[in-house]
Structure 1
Amino acid sequence: MAASGRSAGPEVIWARPERSARGPRPSHTRADIAAAAVRIADAEGLDAVSMRRVAAEIGCGTMSLYNYVPRKEDLYELMFDAAVAEYDLSEPPTGDWRADTLALARQTRALMHRHPWLPRLLAPEYGFSPHSLRYLEYALWALDPLDVGGGTKMELLSMLSAVVAAYVTHELSAAERARSSPFAPGQEQAARQEHLVRQLAGGAYPRLAAAFAAPSEVPDGEALFERAVERVLAGFAPRG
């Protein structure tokens, strides 16, 4: 045992009781702590979240906060679980695994826009919190009609999460660049397009020029997102 009385080995915060069977009721709950950390991260980004800031937010001392949350990684896990709790899983799957999984992907995208820090916490360490397990159970339920093994279904969900996170990160980065640009909306993009046209006209990039010259539909962000998700799902459909 460590000098503090805690086990020297790794400890999962969900395996620890939130309150002792003895003694007074704690002044704060894990939900209070998670909500405070989420508020800070939503407003200022994940790097602004510290034990000191969260303690001040809920009105306790920093050292007192460690009695509730032993490590900053545990704090991140509480935040992740609080965000995942926002999934609406109230309706049973329809039986159309593609449509149901696409609906979950839409929820994931919206969740990441509400909490832009969330993609940074996509790690296996935070994937087995109570609400994460609830989400995974539901997602696997939605995949019941898909005739592949459980390991393949977990691979699908992992890949889908990564694709959605990458897509949202790109959207958030583009929005941030647009906000910080000193030019009028669209002005910088127009200048870059003019430069590209000049480069392609020189003949040094014939394949690229042909690709840009070919007629193509330019989908909006919603349609492009759904197309990306559907292509991931198509890769897991049994070949018949």
Structure 2
Amino acid sequence: MPRDGGAGAQGVDPEQLWLSSAEPRRGRKPAYSREAITAAAVALADAAGLEAVTMRKVAAQVGAGVMSLYSYAPDKETLLNLMVDHVSGELPTGHTLSGDWRADLKAIAHLQRALMLRHPWLPAALSSRRVPGPNTLDFLERVLAALRPSGLDGTAKLEIFAQLTAFVAGHVAHEIAQAAGSQSPDRVEAEARYLAAVAADGHHPELAEALSAPGRLLTPEATFTRFLNRLIDGLDTS
């Protein structure tokens, strides 16, 4: 029986999900579509997180009966796949590539970060295996085209895409958590005094040297860019 939980032992069937018709074949034409159901689920997740997405709430959003939704998404795992691919459609796939694959990868990562910040549930949704849908595959095609000048083989290109996406998702998840738990200026100053005292005790010379380095711009965008540059500039193409 369909459930709001996982997809069961067999998981999501990619052929049935992405290659079959998105609409039920029997009965009268419905007043809603898989696109509308997916968009309603995305809106719920954007507003209140993934835990707010249940088949009952999605049905209420589109004005449908709960059981009728199972013709489109038999379980929450299928719905999550639909949601991930739905928002992946926001990623541009027609922008001009520079031919500098490292620069293009960095631009792609910034696009991914912006998408995940617009949909804060997305990093968590990507933490488990998802079956790539048409929008995701279109974006992957663009990434592979960006990597063509690198001379890497196909497996390495796919690995780099997975590595890049995992990095962006992890970083954005940390950004979101930090923003949600923002500390008061007094607490930040207290932590700075604590670290200064530890660095001055003579037992942590490496920490003392690190803390004495010139300060850097600490905006989320600047921090992400520094981390991203280290990752992309350090990729081995041998």
Q: TM-score range by the shorter chain?
A: 0.7 to 0.9
Which amino acid in structure 2 is aligned with residue 131 of structure 1? N
**Secondary structure of residue in 1 paired with 2:70:** helix
Which amino acid in structure 2 is aligned with residue 38 of structure 1? V
Aligned length: 228
Q: Which runs of 5+ in 1 are unaligned?
A: 3-7
Equivalent residue for 1:57, pick from 58, 61, 64:
61
Aligned mates of 2:43, 2:218 — CA distance in 1: 34
How far did residue 206 of structure 1 move?
Answer: 2.1
Which amino acid in structure 1 is aligned with residue 143 of structure 2? A
Please report the TM-score for the alignment, with normalisation by the length of structure 1: 0.87
Structure 1 counterpart of 2:113: 109
2:230 is aligned with 1:231: yes
How far did residue 123 of structure 1 move?
Answer: 4.9
**Per-residue CA distance 1:91-123 (angstroms, 9 max, x = gap):** 232212112111111110000100000001115
Moved more, 94-103 or 222-231: 222-231
Identity %: 40
Which amino acid in structure 2 is aligned with residue 201 of structure 1? A
Aligned mates of 2:127, 2:139 — CA distance in 1: 15
How far did residue 222 of structure 1 move?
Answer: 2.1
Aligned mates of 1:204, 1:9 — CA distance in 2: 55
Please report the TM-score for the alignment, with normalisation by the length of structure 2: 0.88
Aligned mates of 2:148, 2:126 — CA distance in 1: 24
Q: Residues 202-217 of structure 1: matches in 2 within 5 Å?
A: 202-215=201-214, 217=216
Q: Residues 158-237 of structure 1: matches in 2 within 5 Å?
A: 158-178=162-182, 181=183, 185-215=184-214, 217-237=216-236
Residues 45/9 of structure 1: CA separation in 2 closer, same or farther (3 Å cut) = closer
2:102 is aligned with 1:98: yes
Does the Cα contact within 8 Å between 2:45 and 2:51 map onto a contact in 1?
yes
How far did residue 52 of structure 1 move?
Answer: 0.6
Equivalent residue for 1:37, pick from 38, 41, 57:
41
How far did residue 128 of structure 1 move?
Answer: 1.3
Q: Which runs of 5+ in 2 are unaligned?
A: 2-8
**Secondary structure of residue in 1 paired with 2:172:** helix
Does the Cα contact within 8 Å between 1:97 and 1:146 map onto a contact in 2?
yes
Deviant stretches of 4+, over 6 Å = none
**Secondary structure of residue in 2 paired with 1:144:** helix
Aligned mates of 2:91, 2:35 — CA distance in 1: 16
CA RMSD of aligned residues (A): 2.1
**Secondary structure of residue in 1 paired with 2:165:** helix
Does the Cα contact within 8 Å between 2:23 and 2:34 map onto a contact in 1?
no
Aligned mates of 2:25, 2:217 — CA distance in 1: 61
Aligned mates of 2:52, 2:128 — CA distance in 1: 23
